[in-house]
């Protein structure tokens, strides 16, 4: 059975290699904090949400399919959580028994498979009950099809028949009846596990029999167990195959539901901090229109250590954003808020803000400055160039690259020229660029370029940082003296 909660036409693949630069994105955009809030300690949810983030969707129809399911989940979170709870109970209760599937003893395999199937069937019945009670309130194609599957394939007649068969097999396992024929050298062959009822049991008891002598009881018991396993082998394997098939269905359903539970957990965590979320609108890839109202850094909110300022942003259709301004004025926070919104939107998630309208991107790449590392075998500039060179193979037209104080490890003239040439090369192939920089020569070189939008961290006359980003041309100074005076006091 297919689940199709993440894709309309296929099930999601967990554990496959996702986007290039995963570790860089995790660190630069501080995504582990977001994933931790989404998972709420559940490893399955963490894995599912991480998979979604790093297998970004580039087709608007696929994103909308996922968004519709999430919208249903947000309207009726208690129903989706109930589905997930049933699946978790059915899968975790069998962890110990499942190890018996590796045994060579058919009798053990038979009993374990029956236990599995009994629990799984009870779980399916609980899922069907949820579909009966609440399914009509859902409108998304994905959840509607899932509830239809439960109701169509698992009606009352199905459960009645399955439970009857399981009871028969359980009774048969309590008293094992099998037949065999004599082969060459009087060896038993063609062992068959026999279905029994009251009449059959009476016939078996009047058949010829042999009682094992007390002194041979241990040997005889081993011989009987061996013959019984041969008779049970085919039935046991069939039951095990059925149990494993259902186990695969439950695992898939759990993994795909986990993504939506993670989104609900994140919304709850942000609501506790009085922060809004919204369903983003995705625009076609060739465009550069970006608009956001009250966007904020989700990871910073989740630290609960400081008040987080939200801001508005409009790219006016320009593909090159150069962000300058005072030190510690909120530039990196702004860049993270844009990057987080981009990667979350293309996963089909909610984003942090009141309104978000972003274009789809073929890839998201970050190049943030790194602190000095004594283990580095070369200089910081070499490390920055090497890190960028590794990404060049994967940066394609339609991508977005985010520079955060890149190439500041060298002098102003050299750093500006390196960043200017890289920016020009990326723009020639249609790459969108956000560049937080203190390199004035680099910023000034794009003054006459109509593709450029200049943004600046707001600073009041008093030197106070508001942490808002507004449109503004670059200035020669980054007002580092403000920080000096804050730490060491006003100059005499």
Q: Percentages helix, strand, coil for the chain, rounded to the nearest 5?
A: 55, 15, 30
Find residue 357's DSSP bridge partners: 281, 291
Q: What class does CATH assign to 277-488? A: alpha beta
Closest CA to 53 of 19, 29, 23: 19
Buried b / exposed e along 33-66 (16+ C-beta atoms within 10 A): bbbbbbbeebebbbbbbbbbbbbbbeeeebbbbb
The SS3 of residue 314 is strand
259 phi and psi, to 5 degrees? -60, -45
pTM higher than 0.85 for the full model?
yes
* β-strand partners of 168: none
Tens of pLDDT, residues 40-89:
999 999 999 999 999 999 999 999 999 999 999 999 999 999 999 999 99
Q: Which of these ranges, 124-133, 162-171, 450-459, has the smallest mean pLDDT?
A: 162-171
| Per-residue pLDDT reduced to its tens digit, 223-279 | 767 777 776 777 888 888 888 889 999 999 999 999 999 999 999 999 999 999 999
Enumerate the CATH 3.40.50.300 domain ranges in the chain, comma separated.
277-488
Query: Alpha carbon of 216 to those of 155, 186, 212, 221: distances in Å?
Result: 52, 20, 6, 8
């Amino acid at each position: 059975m297919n689940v199709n909660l993440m894709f309309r036409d296929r099930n999601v693949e967990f554990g496959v290699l996702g986007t290039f630069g995963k570790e860089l994105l995790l660190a630069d955009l501080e995504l582990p904090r977001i994933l931790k809030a989404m998972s709420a300690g559940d490893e399955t949810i963490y894995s599912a949400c991480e998979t979604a983030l790093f297998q970004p969707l580039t087709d608007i129809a696929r994103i909308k399919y996922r968004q519709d399911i999430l919208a249903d989940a947000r309207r009726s979170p208690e129903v989706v959580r109930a589905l997930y709870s049933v699946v978790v109970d059915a899968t975790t209760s069998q962890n110990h028994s499942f190890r018996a599937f590796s045994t060579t003893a058919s009798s053990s395999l038979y009993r374990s498979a029956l236990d599995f199937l009994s629990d799984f069937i009870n779980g399916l019945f609980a899922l069907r009950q949820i579909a009966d009670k609440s399914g009509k309130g859902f409108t998304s194609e994905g959840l509607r099809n899932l509830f239809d599957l439960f109701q169509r394939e698992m009606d009352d007649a199905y459960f009645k028949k399955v439970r009857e068969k399981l009871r028969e097999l359980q009774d048969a396992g309590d008293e094992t009846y099998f037949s065999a024929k004599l082969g060459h050298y009087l060896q038993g062959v063609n062992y068959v596990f026999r279905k029994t009822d009251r009449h059959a049991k009476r016939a078996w008891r009047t058949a010829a029999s042999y009682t094992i002598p007390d002194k041979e009881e241990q040997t005889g018991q081993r011989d009987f167990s061996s013959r019984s396993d041969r008779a049970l082998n085919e039935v046991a394997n069939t039951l095990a195959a059925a149990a494993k098939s259902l186990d695969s269905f439950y695992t898939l359903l759990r993994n795909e539901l986990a993504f939506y539970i993670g989104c609900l957990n994140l919304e709850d965590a942000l609501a506790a901090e009085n922060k809004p979320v919204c369903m983003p609108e995705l625009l076609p890839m060739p465009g550069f229109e970006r608009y956001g109202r009250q966007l904020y850094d989700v990871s910073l909110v989740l630290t609960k250590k400081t008040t987080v300022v939200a801001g508005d942003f409009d790219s006016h259709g320009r593909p090159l954003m150069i962000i300058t301004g005072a030190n510690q004025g909120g530039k990196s926070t702004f860049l993270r808020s844009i990057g987080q919104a981009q990667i979350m939107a293309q996963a089909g998630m909610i984003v942090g803000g009141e309104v978000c309208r972003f274009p789809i991107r073929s890839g998201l790449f970050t190049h943030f400055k790194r602190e000095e590392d004594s283990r580095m075998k070369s200089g910081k500039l070499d490390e920055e160039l090497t890190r960028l060179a590794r990404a060049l193979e994967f940066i394609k037209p339609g991508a977005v690259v985010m520079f955060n104080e890149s190439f500041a490890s060298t002098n102003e003239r050299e750093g500006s020229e390196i960043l200017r040439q890289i920016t020009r090369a990326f723009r020639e192939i249609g790459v969108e660029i956000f560049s937080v920089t203190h390199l004035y020569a680099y910023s000034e070189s794009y003054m006459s370029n109509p593709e450029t939008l200049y943004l600046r961290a707001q600073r009041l006359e008093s030197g106070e940082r508001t942490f808002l980003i507004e449109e503004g041309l670059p200035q020669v100074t980054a007002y580092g003296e403000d920080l000096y005076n804050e730490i060491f006091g006003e100059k005499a």
